[in-house]
Structure formats: structure tokens, C-alpha cells
């Protein structure tokens, strides 16, 4: 039997192109704190520049006011990828994954984020250091598939044929040879036969990441199919037409015979409809593949994949679609609170993928932020923001009709109006009976009384002596209308100017009395 050998590294399809690099994470991802920003970093090697997608669990991470993704070239075909989280909380804990994919393959770096402390120890993700090989013995009675990788700690190894896990037993044996952090992984097939042909994958994984090596085993009982496995002539790309009402994903491949294509969105097989359609046009073994998405909405965001396959091989086109739509304001703004401290708080909910630019208006006049007006935009949940306007202190002049305008690159939305009634004006306390000057002898009792024009037990009453808070022992009372200070068995050092101040939201009122204390003559 004749054995045909093909191999590829870190890729998800049989690839015949030899120039370029599949993505590879050569070092362990890092986590560090920079002020109130948590930074996850990954060093990547790849050529050409791959598409980068960050995940938390199985959910794609999008740029937001709290999470920012960056990419910086650090050398030839080397990039530093970062995910920055502003003001991290325990809810940000979990398993993160950085996925890198180009036309030569893909690779992942895994990061476990927790807030319980502990030392992860030194280590790094698995990485294949040699091209995988298929080695037959002299008489064809034994085939060995061999891969070499580095990893720390020791990786978990899984062999697959197509999508089915390969188990050891019968004619199949698996071996691992270890030398420091270098591992030689082998899959042996005794007395190989035609049904053993297929695409094999060696998957290696540890706590710092994972990697794959693919091997094509073709035991030819018959002549190998002639033709060309699908290869890209034009890189997959996304663009919009008709003012954003249509999204186009397209690319060109060369293949012979004609390939079959299957489109996926977030892992689910797509079906053609009035909203979603695709076509494939042929010209001399060159195929133009095009998908059209009409009236895209936020639910259409995510990862799209096109699988292109013929009898000679297959490949995948991966595209990430982020849909930004015009902000949507479904609810009328509402007055959250009008407090006795003369503060008005108005809130309006806005639906938008990214934080919109928001402007509050009173009538037709734009409200500018100042010491009295404050605007706050809070990210409530994915795709929704709470936009707040605080007015403090509010006066009768703030009464009127208010509305919100939210804008982004796609357009703007204006809320319905809300009538705001300013809180009633609170007047400062009015004194009906002021303090009077007092002259007494030592040992006598002093009694100061201040009476207000109305009853208000919420008044804040403060007594002072010579403009300083009274710390000596005196008796004070306040029943909501009358405030009393009493000094029994007075002494010479207690004379001076006594002041009462009464405060509310409307202001502060004061009254003073001069106390003179003469010596007592027997």
C-alpha cells in the first residue's frame, strides 16, 4: 500500500501554501494591574496579521467604556495583544480566551482571572515546534504520526480523526516521550488499511492555552483524486452598501472540482431567506463567494464562518461583524426624584451598541454641564445605557419641558418630552422672638430663648459662644418652634456673646445675645 503524507500546523484545514505563519502564542499570557486598570497581555507571532477575537467563556467581548482591546506590533510578525478592564470587580472573574486566526490557521491563549489571590507559577501554553510528520516503516505495516511541542506544565493530549476522538486499543497505540518541557507525541496505526485514511488532529492543552496540529493520511487503494484544494485568492472582507442597509461578506477562492459551501453564524448553520442570501460565481476554477445581509440589526452581530470544501481539501473563512445601529429611545424620560434639598434627577434609557453622545435640552436650549447641571451616562447592560440629568439646587426657573438627544455615527434619536415641576421654594427660618442681652451675678441662672415664626422640627440648631461651638456644660432644648439655652450657677468666665443659628434648605438665620456676669456680693 502506498502512503501519501500531507501536514499542516495550527490550522483548521488542509493547506498547500508554505509561505507565511499560522498564529502562535510563544509565551504565557500575563495579567497585571495598572492603577485601576487590569491588563491581560498575550504575545503573538503570525503572518499575515490574523483576526483577533477575545472571549469571556463562550461570549465574544466587544469594546466598551470599561473594556478595551489593543494590538501593537513589537517586531517582525510579532504583536502584543491586550485586553484592558477599567475598575475590575469580582463579577469580571472567569475564563478569558484570545483567539487568533489567519489563512494559515488559528491558535488560542487562555487566561483564568480570579480575585482570590494565589500564585499561578511559571508556565506557558503548548506550541508545536516542528511540522507534524507521518512516518511509515519499511514494509508499510506500521504508520507513526509524530508531533513535537513545548509546554509547561505537561499538556493534555487528544487525538482526533475528523471530529471523532481516537481511542487506544487494537491496532492503535499512543505514546508520549518527555524531555524537560519538550514532548514528542506519537499515534501508531498497525497494519493500516484504506478506512484509516482521513484528517487527523493532535490537540494539546494546558492551563495557559491550547494548540492543534493537523495531518492528512491517505492510504491509496485507488488513484488520488486530481484537482485543487480550496485556497484563498482574495482575503475575506466585510463592507456595507446602500447606506448601511446591506452588509456584504465576500472573498475569492481557487478550487477544482467545484467546492460546496456552508455558512455559520455563532456556530449555527445558516439558511437562506429574504433577509439573508448567498451565491457562488465560477470562472476558470476561480469562485467568487458572496453573502448579503439586509437590514442588519444588533442581533446579527457575531462571528460568521464559511466552510469551503471539495474532495481535495477544505478551508474556512472567519469574519466578525459588529453592528452599530441608530440609538433607540423606547421610553419617555422619567423624573427619578425631586428632593426637599432642591435636587431634580431625570433619567432616560437609550439602546445602543456603543456609548452614544447625549445632550439634554430644556425647550430648544442645550443644557451645558456646570456646577448646577450634571450629566451621567451609566452602562446598565449590553446594548443599553441610562442617561441622567441632575439639577441642584433647583429653583422655580428650572420648571419646563425637557428632552434627550442621543447620537452615534449612524444617526440620532430624540426622546419624548417630560414636564418637570420644580420643588417648592423653601424659605430660610424666620425668627419671631430674638435673643436679648442678659446681665446677672455669679451663681445665678441664665436663660436664653429664641422663638421662630412657624413650627419646623427639621431645623438644624447650633449654639456658639464668641463664634465657637459651645463645649462647656449647658442645657439646650428645641421643640420645633422655641430654642432654649440655660446655664445654672453661672460663672464669670461664661460671659460673652452667645449666638444661635437655625438652618434649612432655604438658608440660615442667626440671633445673638451679650451676657455679662458680675461678681456676687454677700
Q: Is 70 exceeded by the pLDDT of residue 6?
A: no
> To which residue does cell 507559577 refer?
121
Distance of alpha carbon 232 from alpha carbon 289, whole angstroms: 11
Tens of pLDDT, residue by residue over 56-74, are 988 999 988 899 999 999 9
Q: Which DSSP letter does residue 492 get?
A: G
Residues 209-246 have pLDDT tens digits of 788 888 898 876 544 567 899 999 999 998 878 766 88
Residue 15 in any domain: the answer is: no
* Residue 12 falls inside a structural domain: no
| Residue 325 pLDDT greater than 80, yes or no | no
Residues 254 and 316 in one domain: yes
**Cα–Cα dist 228/127, whole Å:** 29
Q: Which residues 6+ apart lie within 8 Å of 76 measured at CB?
A: none
Angle (CA) 304-310-314 rounded to 5° is 45
241 domain residue, yes or no: yes
264-296 residue pLDDT tens: 999 999 999 999 999 999 999 999 999 999 988
Give me the mean pLDDT over the 251-275 stretch.
94
Query: Does residue 113 sit in the same domain as residue 86?
Result: yes
The tens digit of pLDDT for each residue in 121-170 reads 567 778 788 888 999 988 888 999 999 988 889 999 999 999 999 999 99
Residue 200: per-residue pLDDT: 93
Q: Of 84, 118, 152, which residue sits at a domain end?
A: 118
| pLDDT score of 2 | 33
Identify the bridge partners of residue 119 per DSSP, sorted by sequence position: none
Average pLDDT over the chain, rounded to whole? 85
The pLDDT tens digits of the residues spanning 93-115 come to: 888 999 999 887 888 988 888 76
One domain, residues 195 and 250:
no
Residue 11 lies in a domain: no
**Other CB atoms within 10 A of residue 296 CB:** 19
Task: Verify that 97 and 125 share a domain, yes or no.
Answer: no
Q: Where are the beta strands (DSSP E) in 393-435?
A: 400-408, 411-414, 418-420, 431-433
Residue-wise pLDDT for 171-213, tens only, equals 999 999 999 889 999 999 999 988 889 999 999 998 877 888 8
Number of domains composing the chain: 5
Regarding whether 372 and 316 lie in a shared domain, the answer is no
Same domain, 207 and 256: no
Q: What are phi and psi of 194, to 5 degrees?
A: -50, -45
pLDDT band at 388 (very low <50, low <70, confident <90, very high): very high
Indicate the range of 162-166, 395-399, 424-428 predicted with least confidence: 424-428
Boundary of a domain, candidates 420, 444, 468: 420
Specify the pLDDT at position 18. Answer: 43
Percent pLDDT > 70 in the chain is 91
Looking at the structure, tell me whether residues 241 and 264 fall in a common domain. Answer: yes
Domain of residue 317: give its range: 228-321
153: domain CATH number is 2.60.40.10
Residues in the chain: 522
Nearest to 134 by CA among 314, 14, 3: 3
Whether 109 contacts 208, CB under 8 Å: yes
Give pLDDT tens digits for 25-53. 988 888 877 777 888 999 999 988 889 99
Instruction: Please say if the pLDDT value at position 120 is more than 60.
Output: no
pLDDT of residue 9: 29
Do 415 and 334 reside in the same domain of the chain? yes
43 within 8 A of 74, measured Cβ to Cβ? yes
**392 Cβ contact partners less than 8 Å away, ≥ 6 residues apart:** 341, 342, 343, 344, 372, 374
Given phi > 0 = left and psi -120 to 50 = alpha, else beta, which region is 507? left
Kindly state whether residue 13 falls inside one of the protein's structural domains.
no
Distances (CA, A) of 191 to 136, 200, 220, 447: 10, 17, 14, 114
Residues 127 and 216 occupy one common structural domain: yes
Asked whether residue 135 falls in the same domain as residue 206, the answer is: yes
Q: Using the 3D structure, point to which of 304, 321, 338 is the last residue of a domain.
A: 321
**pLDDT attached to residue 78:** 92
Domain presence at residue 425: no
**Residue 512 to residue 463: CA distance in whole angstroms:** 10
pLDDT in tens, 457-485: 889 999 999 999 887 778 999 999 999 99
Kindly state whether residue 2 falls inside one of the protein's structural domains.
no
114 and 26 inside one domain: yes
pLDDT band (50, 70, 90) for residue 341: low
Is the predicted pLDDT of residue 85 greater than 50, yes or no?
A: yes
Do 70 and 127 belong together in one domain?
no
pLDDT of residue 492 exceeding 60, the answer is yes
For residue 59, is it within any domain?
Answer: yes
Amino acid at each position: 500500500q502506498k502512503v501519501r503524507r500531507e501536514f499542516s500546523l495550527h490550522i483548521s484545514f488542509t493547506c498547500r501554501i508554505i509561505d507565511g505563519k499560522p498564529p502562535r502564542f510563544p509565551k504565557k499570557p500575563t495579567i497585571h494591574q495598572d492603577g485601576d486598570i487590569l491588563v491581560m497581555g498575550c504575545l503573538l507571532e503570525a503572518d499575515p496579521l490574523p483576526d483577533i477575537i477575545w472571549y469571556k467563556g463562550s461570549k465574544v467581548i466587544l469594546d466598551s467604556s470599561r473594556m478595551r482591546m489593543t494590538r501593537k506590533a513589537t517586531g517582525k510578525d510579532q504583536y502584543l495583544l491586550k485586553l484592558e478592564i477599567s475598575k475590575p470587580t469580582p463579577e469580571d472573574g472567569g475564563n478569558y480566551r484570545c483567539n487568533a486566526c489567519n489563512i494559515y490557521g488559528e491558535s488560542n491563549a487562555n487566561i483564568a482571572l480570579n480575585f482570590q489571590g494565589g500564585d499561578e507559577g511559571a508556565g506557558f501554553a503548548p506550541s508545536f515546534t516542528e511540522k507534524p510528520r507521518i512516518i511509515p516503516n519499511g514494509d508499510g505495516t506500521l504508520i507513526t504520526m509524530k508531533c513535537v511541542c513545548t509546554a509547561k506544565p505537561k499538556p493534555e493530549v487528544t487525538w482526533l480523526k475528523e471530529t471523532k476522538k481516537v481511542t487506544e486499543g487494537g491496532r492503535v497505540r499512543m505514546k508520549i516521550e518527555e524531555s524537560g518541557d519538550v514532548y514528542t507525541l506519537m499515534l501508531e496505526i498497525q497494519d493500516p488499511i484504506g478506512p484509516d485514511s482521513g484528517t487527523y488532529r493532535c490537540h494539546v492543552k494546558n492551563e495557559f492555552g491550547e494548540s492543534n496540529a493537523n495531518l492528512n493520511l491517505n492510504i491509496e487503494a485507488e488513484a488520488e483524486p486530481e484537482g485543487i484544494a480550496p485556497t484563498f485568492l482574495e482575503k475575506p472582507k466585510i463592507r456595507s452598501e446602500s447606506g448601511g442597509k446591506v452588509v456584504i461578506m465576500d472573498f475569492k477562492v481557487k478550487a477544482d472540482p467545484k467546492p460546496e459551501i456552508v455558512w455559520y453564524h455563532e456556530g449555527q448553520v445558516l439558511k437562506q431567506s429574504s433577509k439573508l442570501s448567498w451565491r457562488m460565481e465560477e470562472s476558470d476554477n476561480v469562485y467568487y463567494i458572496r453573502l448579503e445581509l439586509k437590514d442588519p440589526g444588533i442581533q446579527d452581530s457575531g462571528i460568521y464562518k464559511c466552510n469551503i470544501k471539495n474532495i481535495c481539501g477544505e478551508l474556512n473563512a472567519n469574519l466578525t461583524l459588529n453592528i452599530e445601529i441608530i440609538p433607540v429611545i423606547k421610553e419617555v424620560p422619567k423624573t427619578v426624584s425631586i428632593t426637599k434639598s432642591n435636587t431634580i434627577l431625570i433619567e432616560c434609557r437609550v439602546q445602543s451598541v456603543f456609548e452614544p453622545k447625549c445632550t439634554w435640552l430644556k425647550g430648544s436650549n442645550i443644557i451645558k454641564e456646570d456646577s448646577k447641571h450634571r450629566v451621567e451616562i451609566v452602562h446598565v447592560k449590553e446594548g443599553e445605557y441610562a442617561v441622567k440629568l441632575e439639577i441642584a439646587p433647583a429653583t422655580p426657573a428650572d420648571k419646563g419641558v425637557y428632552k434627550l438627544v442621543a447620537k452615534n455615527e449612524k444617526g440620532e434619536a430624540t426622546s419624548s418630552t417630560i414636564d418637570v415641576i420644580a420643588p417648592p421654594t423653601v424659605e430660610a427660618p424666620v425668627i419671631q422672638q430674638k435673643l436679648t442681652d442678659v446681665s446677672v451675678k455669679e451663681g445665678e441662672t441664665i436663660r436664653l430663648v429664641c422663638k421662630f415664626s412657624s413650627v419646623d422640627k427639621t431645623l438644624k440648631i447650633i449654639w456658639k459662644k464668641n463664634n465657637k461651638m459651645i463645649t462647656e456644660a449647658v442645657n439646650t432644648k428645641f421643640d420645633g418652634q422655641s430654642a432654649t439655652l440655660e446655664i445654672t450657677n453661672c460663672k464669670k468666665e461664661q460671659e460673652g456673646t452667645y449666638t444661635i443659628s437655625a438652618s434649612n434648605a432655604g438658608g440660615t438665620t442667626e440671633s445673638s445675645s451679650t451676657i455679662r456676669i458680675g461678681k456676687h456680693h454677700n
